[in-house]
Chains A and B, each alone.
Chain A
Amino acid sequence: MSFPWAEHYTPKHPVMKWVDERLPLPRFVYNAVGSGYEVPRNLNYFWNFGVLAGVALTIQLITGIVLAMHYAANAGVAFDSVEHIMRNVNSGWLLRYAHANGASFFFIVVYIHIFRGLFYSSYKAPREMVWLLGVVIFLLMMATAFMGYVLPWGQMSYWGAQVITGLFSALPLVGEPIHTWLLGGFAPGDAALNRFFSLHYLLPFVIAGVIILHIWALHIPGSSNPTGVEVKGPQDTVPFHPYYTAKDGFGLAVFLLIFATVVFYAPNYMGHPDNYIAANPMSTPAHIVPEWYFWPFYAILRAFTVDLSIPFTGIVIIPAKLLGVLAMFSSILLLFFLPWIDTSPVRSGKYRPLFKKFFYLLLIDVAVLGYCGGAPAAEPFVMISQIAAAYYFAHFLIVLPLIAIYERPDPLPGSITEAVLANAKHRPADAAAVPAE
């Protein structure tokens, strides 16, 4: 599970020795996040985000469990029970604002984590399983976040549930029965709210379980690093503790600082005002939009405006709505195949001049999709999102395999240590005394 030069756990205290002989849990922790886990010495700040995602999940679990003690999942009182939390529960406003913004921050952190993986090709052998489990976590997060947003039973909750569950009705033949089965009725109501609450409470623990598998799978080959060159010897690594516990501690402090600033000074910035209006099935909001972290996928969904049909006959093979639904799910599911789509032997984007350019284009593309997804479904946003969505699919399914064939990568450093020392040489002499990241 680790490199041969990793330190071995030797309990000093008699109690720890006693425990370790009967249940080697201290040994397990020591080898996972202690001095027993050897990590490349050259990780940059983008490698902080895995730990931060774990912290974000923990914040959601703690605030969520306490909120559930005061929340009532019943269509008649759900909205008022949230206001009860905001007004009458001790520090209830803090719990709710931390939980609502915590979801957004969880996604910010995870998106950076995913793009880190994309740039440094962390999905390539031997870490495919880490990536696949990561995509599973991402899907579970999306389901959890969607169902959580329904719980306050405001206007956006209700109509968001209506739109998203309505996607399933686009499926031919089985669509309507599946839609009704998912909701437990013909429209969102008590049955839907109750099952969403139940699943919203369950799925985070499933996520925690998959995270354990994700870390387990990571610790088989060990962490990747910004050069993409595998660890060759003891000089390439440092023990996780104290080196990366210290660095993660600093990253965590910065994360909490930004998180606290938003929770205390702009708690409703990322929310939608309409969700402070109680759900009303008789009145549809002017613009139904999901939370910001779904905007890129919402834009892909809405970008399909033309049915796939046989020309001049009027026979529709796939209606536009179903195309949108299929494309939206495909846009995430294609990530599962990434390790086998991108065949370039070089991992790090740093040494891939052509890949790098297209990667930055993808970043801009996803930002444009996000903007269009949050905008009303009108021109010019639909036209822009059509071009952006086309590039999204082309990037992963056409461009990446072609780059792998035609790109001439830059020369790779011989080892991690060689890259680190070459970097240090370029630094001015006085800076060498205080190694800065």
Chain B
Amino acid sequence: MVRIFGGLVGLFFAGMLLISFIVGVVAVTPVLSEHGSFVAPTVEEEFHHHPKSVAWSFNGPFGKYDKAQLQRGFQVYSEVCAACHSIKQVAFRSLADLGYSDAEIKAIAKKRQIPDADPKTGEATTREGIPADHFPLVYPNDIAARAANNNAIPPDLSLMAKSREGGPDYIHSLLTGFEEQPAELLKKFPDAKTPEGLHFNPYFANLNLAMAPPLSAEGQVTYGEGQPKPTVDQMAQDVSAFLMWTAEPKLEARKSTGFAVVIFLLFATVLSYMAYQNIWANKEH
């Protein structure tokens, strides 16, 4: 009974799947003969670029953040990105990871206004930041963010390096990837012209983004003595590294702990293999 009923169920599902398959083949055949591919090509597929890879200092099993680079990146973030983008997950105190002293962190926090209640009246007000605070939001809410940015919300950047395929490579490529829309694209997809108020960037998923090129000129940010020249590419790399840190602040602890754990486990594996061989010696199996 089980086998007969099971066989019928199997025939039913397999049959419906084969019918679905045949219907699919019929639907896909004209597309295939016209375009030579299963789906009609889209402008995103043809003109989207994958991020260029960068040799980050934090790559690889022994990678570490370059503190000078993170400080430069923080400078780029503060002077350029922070006008629109928040990093709300980051607390001022954690800037100690970048090599800032307590006094410097206090000064950085003090420059930001944190929403709070007035201690005398209880009314909503703002006060100077302290190291325990997080970086404040740029806009009080999404409506304000949209109103100020041509109906687009500038995303929070705390986790940007982990929430996009390619991570810091993607941020670097996006920041340096703005260009004129290729003439070839418009010839092939005449309807795909970048709309008014948007900006063409082949690294962005749908090719047109609301953000104007934020890094446009060499020396837009003035780096300190002994630092590399602030070219657009350098600034983009520095801020991408900084955003990798905001997304994964425990990367160095993770990699160094991992090294000790893996060495320990390699040792344990060898020992347990020897124990296994020893116990099973003279026992055919």
* Residue among B11, B25, B254 making CB contact with A398, cutoff 8 Å: B11
B250 near A250: Cβ-Cβ < 8 Å: no
How distant is the Cα of A182 from the Cα of B42 in the complex, in angstroms?
39
Given contacts A257-B266, A277-B163, A306-B19, contact A242 B24 (CB under 8 A): no
Question: Which of B186-194, B214-222, B229-237, B273-281 is found at the contact surface with chain A?
Answer: B273-281
What mask results when residues 260 to 285 of chain B are scored 1 for a CB within 8 Å of chain A, else 0? 01100110110111011111111111
A residues 382-406 touching B (CB-CB < 8 Å):
382-383, 386-387, 389-391, 393-394, 396-398, 401
Chain A residues with CB below 8 A from B10, complex form: 393-394, 396-398
How distant is the Cα of A343 from the Cα of B2 in the complex, in angstroms?
11
A253 near B272: Cβ-Cβ < 8 Å: yes
B2 near A340: Cβ-Cβ < 8 Å: yes
Chain A residues with CB below 8 A from B50, complex form: none
For the complex, is B205 an interface residue (Cβ under 8 Å from A)?
Answer: yes
How distant is the Cα of A41 from the Cα of B163 in the complex, in angstroms?
50
A residues 226-258 touching B (CB-CB < 8 Å):
238, 242-243, 246-247, 249-250, 252-254, 256-257
A residues 88-143 touching B (CB-CB < 8 Å):
93-94, 97
* Residue among A327, A420, A435, A436 making CB contact with B13, cutoff 8 Å: A327
A394 near B14: Cβ-Cβ < 8 Å: yes
Chain A residues with CB below 8 A from B273, complex form: 250, 253
How distant is the Cα of A295 from the Cα of B266 in the complex, in angstroms?
32
For the complex, is A207 an interface residue (Cβ under 8 Å from B)?
Answer: no
For the complex, is A378 an interface residue (Cβ under 8 Å from B)?
Answer: yes
B162 near A268: Cβ-Cβ < 8 Å: yes
Question: Which of A50-58, A164-172, A259-267, A354-362 is found at the contact surface with chain B?
Answer: A259-267
Chain B residues with CB below 8 A from A387, complex form: 17, 21
A residues 1-22 touching B (CB-CB < 8 Å):
none
B28 near A41: Cβ-Cβ < 8 Å: no
Residue of B nearest to A238 (CB): B283
Chain B residues with CB below 8 A from A423, complex form: 284
Return A155 CB to nearest CB of chain B, in Å: 8
Chain B residues with CB below 8 A from A264, complex form: 254-255, 257-259, 261-262
* Residue among B3, B16, B164, B265 making CB contact with A256, cutoff 8 Å: B265
Residue of B nearest to A275 (CB): B163
A residues 264-289 touching B (CB-CB < 8 Å):
264-265, 267-268, 273-274, 276-277, 286
Return A39 CB to nearest CB of chain B, in Å: 11
How distant is the Cα of A238 from the Cα of B259 in the complex, in angstroms?
38
* Residue among B9, B254, B279 making CB contact with A397, cutoff 8 Å: B9
Given contacts A93-B250, A277-B159, contact A382 B24 (CB under 8 A): yes
Residue of B nearest to A425 (CB): B284
For the complex, is A430 an interface residue (Cβ under 8 Å from B)?
Answer: no
A401 near B7: Cβ-Cβ < 8 Å: yes
Chain A positions near chain B (C-beta within 8 angstroms): 41-43, 80, 83, 86-87, 93-94, 97, 238, 242-243, 246-247, 249-250, 252-254, 256-257, 260-261, 263-265, 267-268, 273-274, 276-277, 286, 303-306, 308, 320, 323, 327, 330, 334, 337, 340-341, 343, 378-380, 382-383, 386-387, 389-391, 393-394, 396-398, 401, 420-421, 423-424, 434-437
Q: Which 3 A-B pairs have the closest CB atoms?
A: A264-B258, A397-B10, A276-B163
Chain B positions near chain A (C-beta within 8 angstroms): 2-3, 6-7, 9-11, 13-14, 16-21, 23-25, 28, 31, 38-39, 61, 89, 91, 94, 155, 158-159, 162-165, 205, 247, 249-250, 253-255, 257-259, 261-262, 265-266, 268-269, 271-273, 275-285
